Amino acid sequence: MVGLGFRREFAEEMISGTQITPDFIEFAPENWMHIGGYWKKMLHRVVEKYPVLCHGLSLSIGSPEEPDKEFLRYVKSFLDEYQVRIYSEHLSYSKCDNAHLYDLLPMPFRMDAALHMAGRIQQVQDYLQRPLAMEIISYYTPVSPEMSEIDFISEVVQRSGCQLLLDVNNIYINAFNHHYDAKDFITRLPLDKVAYIHMAGHEQVSPEMILDTHGHPIADPVYDLFEWTIRQIRPVPVLLERDFNIPQMPELQAELTRLKTICHQQWKHHELVA
Amino acid sequence: MSSLPDTPQLQHRFTQHCRTGIRTTLPGVAPDRLTHYRQAIRHMVKDTMESAYPITCANIPARKWEGMVRTFFARHACTSYQVWKLPLEFYTYAVENNWDDVYDIPYLSDLLAFEWAEIEVFNMEDIAPAAFVSTGHWLETPLVLNPEYRLLSFKYPVHREARRARLLKEKGAWFVLLHREPGTGNVKFTGISPWLAFVIEQLAAGITVKDILEYAPQLGITVTEELEKDTLAFLTDMQQQHFVFGFQP
Ligand SMILES: [Fe+2]
């Protein structure tokens, strides 16, 4: 299953399904909750056509403050209403001092943060009555770390029982920006917990820095890392994220096709077993 | 035991810097990378405000506008978990802090209210209208209105004009009706007189046109044949525009 992030810019094309044919769609519930009118109709049309996965933005699971109960209540009813198969979020925070910052901020890799986050994930999972798939975010600086990123993630996953959303492009970017080996990092993750994969484009803005833009085609070395990665895991849904600098649909379709071909080759054995 | 601050303290410092730009100490954080976060967030907030308030932004000198957005984000804790509602918090903040006077833009809150209402009406959750039929007596049958609307009152005619000098000259009582077209979802706005604004409020409460006209003298309004004719002409036109849906069955 290779899906595409649903965006207003190409909603018509996805609904008509003539130029682009993802196996499923993904969107952020925050962008579609409490909405009526034109976009509500469009959402209903696209949801009738494709299976839906949701990828949240505002849960801010690493925040010092308590989760927003009202927000969670809406998320729960939204996930039920649209029969959402996977709800994913980020190993990150975007809110502090009760103020939203609308960006995914890096958690300090520290034991107190890992314990806090694991507790929060459990709390949300219990409330929603479903596991969360937590994405390893791209980040541009560590914040006063006391442990390695991999130990931090493993600790959170193990203690909370959550699943992982492996964004291969994020790992590629982080490995470049923080000078580590992407394959070695992936090998050390609890790979049996990977429930979902993201793929996206990036941009190198200086000799030392790559930005996670979601505004470019997937880079070749990220395809290579993807191919290597999926050999290590069981088949899971794969999503192409394209949020900016939207190209013509055939270009996006070509990326979907390339991803599908790789999945088919690497997961052939699983398909036969299944 | 660690000599470093604990995680909530680090998060507080990190986000305070992102919001205010005030220097902070964060062990292990590369300053240029912290700046990257601050700038990314600033751009996002600025873009959100500029796409929500294109007229306001175009009519305020760039540095003044940027200062307003910066002050808002630094001092106000944004509570909306949906980015598209962030401009509402900006508008509310401007009103609460009396920015019309502070920035010497007397029509600022009117302009923000007008631009926000368009977004709000476009996005608002669907509201099922009451049952209606397409024929009835314009004077005597209660009308059924499209419930997806906002009626705004302004001191300045910001729906017609954006130039400062002209706006300031036309201070008064202005009314604008915004409603969402059921078929297309587009928002239409109509400048209306104080009388028609009163009529709409009463119609929405289920009062008939006849009763509204009978009550008018108590408001000091002289009811003439022309007023009645104009009122009915407006309502017929608003039926074409899908604001008046029809008549109560
Ligand atoms: Fe992602």
CATH of the domain at A117: 3.20.20.150
What residues make up the domain containing A193?
A: 2-267
Given this model, what pLDDT does residue A227 score? 98
In a domain? residue A273: no
Contact A116 B78 (CB under 8 A): no
pLDDT band at B219 (very low <50, low <70, confident <90, very high): confident
* Residues B125-143 pLDDT 10s: 999 999 999 999 999 999 9
B120 and chain A in contact, CB less than 8 A: no
A129: left (phi over 0), alpha (psi -120 to 50) or beta: left
Contact A99 B76 (CB under 8 A): yes
Sequence-ordered list of residues with C-beta below 8 angstroms from that of B52, at least 6 positions apart, any chain: B86, B87, B90, B115, B116, B119
Q: Which residues from chain A sit within 8 angstroms of residue B80, using beta carbons?
A: 100
Q: Let me know the angle formed at the C-alpha of B43 by B186 and A92, rounded to the nearest 5 degrees.
A: 100
Q: How many other β-carbons are positioned within 10 Å of the β-carbon of residue A38?
A: 19
The residue of chain A nearest to residue B34, with distances taken between CA atoms, is A141
Does the pLDDT at position B1 exceed 60? no
Nearest to A37 among B40, B82, B126 (CB): B126
Q: How far is the CA of A168 from the centre of ligand 1 (A)?
A: 8
* Residues A22-32 pLDDT 10s: 999 999 999 99
Q: In Å, how far is A224's CA from the nearest CA of chain B?
A: 28
* Residues B140-174 pLDDT 10s: 999 999 999 999 999 999 999 989 999 999 999 99
Q: How far apart are CA A165 and CA B103, in angstroms?
A: 47
A124 and chain B in contact, CB less than 8 A: no
B12 and chain A in contact, CB less than 8 A: yes
Dihedral sign, Cα of residue A139, residue A246, residue A226, residue A25: positive
| CATH 3.90.930.50 residue spans of chain B | 127-249
Q: In Å, how far is A96's CA from the nearest CA of chain B?
A: 6
Sequence-ordered list of residues with C-beta below 8 angstroms from that of B159, at least 6 positions apart, any chain: B114, B174, B176, B189, B191
Sequence-ordered list of residues with C-beta below 8 angstroms from that of A243, at least 6 positions apart, any chain: A5, A7, A214, A215
A38 and chain B in contact, CB less than 8 A: yes
First to last CA, chain B: 76
| Helices and strands in chain B, H and E counts | 11, 5
Is residue A255 within 8 A of residue A238, CB to CB? The reply is no
Q: What is the mean pLDDT of residues A131-152?
A: 97
Q: Which two tokens stand for residue A157?
A: 């996953």
Contact A107 B7 (CB under 8 A): yes
- The DSSP 8-state label assigned to residue B133 in this structure reads B
For chain B, give the number of residues: 249
Is residue B122 within 8 A of residue B52, CB to CB? The reply is no
Contact B81 A100 (CB under 8 A): yes
Element (H or E) spanning A4, and its range? strand A2-5
In a domain? residue A96: yes
Q: How far is the CA of A135 from the centre of ligand 1 (A)?
A: 7
The correct answer on CATH 3.90.930.50 for the domain covering B127-249 is: yes
Q: How far apart are CA B158 and CA A117, in angstroms?
A: 48
A62 and chain B in contact, CB less than 8 A: yes
Q: Which two tokens stand for residue B237?
A: 């036109």
Does the pLDDT at position B2 exceed 50? no
* Residues A183-211 pLDDT 10s: 999 999 999 999 999 999 999 999 999 99
The interface predicted TM-score of the complex, written ipTM, equals 0.95
Given this model, what pLDDT does residue A272 score? 56
Q: Is the pTM of this model over 0.80?
A: yes
Q: What percent of chain A has pLDDT over 90?
A: 97
Ion ligand 1 contact residues with beta carbon within 5 A: A 167, 198
Give the residues across from B178 on adjacent strands.
B150, B189
Give the residues across from B154 on adjacent strands.
B174
Q: Which residues from chain B sit within 8 angstroms of residue A34, using beta carbons?
A: 82, 123, 125
Is residue A257 within 8 A of residue A27, CB to CB? The reply is no
3-state secondary structure of A171: helix
Q: How far apart are CA A241 and CA A244, in angstroms?
A: 9
Closest CA to B119 of A173, A36, A260: A36
Is residue B126 within 8 A of residue B148, CB to CB? The reply is yes
Contact A141 B186 (CB under 8 A): no
Q: How far apart are CA A95 and CA B18, in angstroms?
A: 11
In a domain? residue A42: yes
Q: How far apart are CA B56 and CA B75, in angstroms?
A: 21
Q: Where are the alpha helices (DSSP H) in A194-248?
A: 220-231
Nearest to A33 among B14, B16, B82 (CB): B82
Q: In Å, how far is A108's CA from the nearest CA of chain B?
A: 7
Q: How far apart are CA B104 and CA B61, in angstroms?
A: 12
Q: In Å, how far is A20's CA from the nearest CA of chain B?
A: 25
Contact A99 B122 (CB under 8 A): no
Closest CA to A102 of B43, B142, B12, B122: B43
Q: How far is the CA of B182 from the centre of ligand 1 (A)?
A: 36
Does the pLDDT at position A36 exceed 90? yes
Q: Which two tokens stand for residue A115?
A: 């314990």
Q: In Å, how far is A243's CA from the nearest CA of chain B?
A: 14
Cα–Cα separations (whole angstroms), residue B53 to A100, A147, B102, B173:
20, 45, 19, 22
Q: How many other β-carbons are positioned within 10 Å of the β-carbon of residue B37?
A: 22
Contact A101 B33 (CB under 8 A): no
* Total of domains in chain A: 1
Contact A41 B82 (CB under 8 A): no
A41 and chain B in contact, CB less than 8 A: yes
Given this model, what pLDDT does residue A269 score? 79
